[in-house]
Structure 1
């Protein structure tokens, strides 16, 4: 069980880093393109496609991470008067619905990838399915993370061993 927990933590951190790298690449590409277009009156033709790719990948990976960290939007006004047991049941049901949404993302993401595998993006000539490959992957991440949070509702998912400043705890 320790190995599985450590592997999940490593995967989670790798996904966080990948999402951060996508955001940095997006920022650098857009900034460079703006400078080239408005100061030098020319730019690259591929920047919009790569920026779109990075934005979609960053957003969908961030959604999967947000499910595990329970940082998705919620309105607490309606649950403020409920008992802690009722809130726990409601949150478990909520995460089961989120898991179902993740399953739908996997299914429809695979359909979209299949439909777009023969078309290419105009500037980069990459297959259009590259843009959509993140749909089933993030759907799987959302599905697994939502089920994990639903099962371990009141427990920490990743326990830190040393409590060092570099390690963050993820609560469920």
Structure 2
């Protein structure tokens, strides 16, 4: 999926750049490039959402989770995943309904394409996200709640531990430190 995202991004950049150069340099343009770029951006966004969900990289606030017991953390994580599953199910269902409603409808513009292609990206993201939520629910059922902690909070804890160890060691003078009278004399 990351390769597809890279290809979509490259294609968007090339098409938009080419069209800008054609407009300003030659007072013309290539028809259909805006529609292709728009469709590519829609798919890029939704594929990216699934890729980030697979890796667990979406934003999260885990201040409450850090203060809970492991059993409570599992319960809250399970409830959160059920709510996410409901929202993603609505996204998938709504996208499917739009695909059906727009069956045979062609996008108006320089490049006619089935309008259902736009909504297929939402269906892809809804189903892909639901699969990730199901994976997380299985992990929670096995008692693993480590993935519920945000990566940023893990980094913050590591930084706090390093800072605390530096404070216990005391300040170590740096080579350009003139507090001890070495620099400038």
- Using the size of structure 2 for normalisation, the TM-score is 0.68
State the match for 2:36 in structure 1: 50
Residue 115 of structure 1, aligned match among 86, 93, 101: 101
Shift of 1:140: 0.8
Does the CA-based 8 Å contact 2:99-2:116 persist in structure 1? yes
Alpha-carbon distance change, 87 to 39 in structure 1, aligned in 2, over 3 angstroms = farther
Q: Write the deviation string for residues 17-62 of structure 1: whole angstroms up to 9, x where unpaired.
A: 2222222212222222222222322212211111111111011111
Structure 2 regions of 5+ residues with no counterpart?
Answer: 148-185
CA distance in 2, matches of 1:105, 1:22: 23
Say if 1:67 and 1:93 are closer, same or farther in 2 by CA, change over 3 A: farther
Rounded Cα–Cα distance in structure 1 between residues aligned with 2:55 and 2:19: 34
Q: Where does residue 23 of structure 1 map in the other structure?
A: 9
Q: Could you say what the CA RMSD is over the residues aligned between the two structures, in angstroms?
A: 2.3
Q: Check conservation: 2:92, 2:123, Cα contact below 8 A.
A: yes
Q: Provide the secondary structure at the position in 2 that maps to 1:143.
A: helix
Distance 1:156 1:84 in 2: 10
TM-score, normalised to structure 1's length?
A: 0.72
* Cα 1:91–1:66 shift into 2, 3 Å: farther
Q: Which has the larger radius of gyration?
A: 2
Following superposition, the deviation at residue 156 of structure 1 comes to: 9.6
Decide which structure has greater helix share: 2
User: Structure 1: any 5+ residue segments left out of the alignment?
Assistant: 1-14, 158-172
* 3-state SS of 1:59 partner: helix
Q: 1:88 to 1:32 in 2, by over 3 A?
A: farther
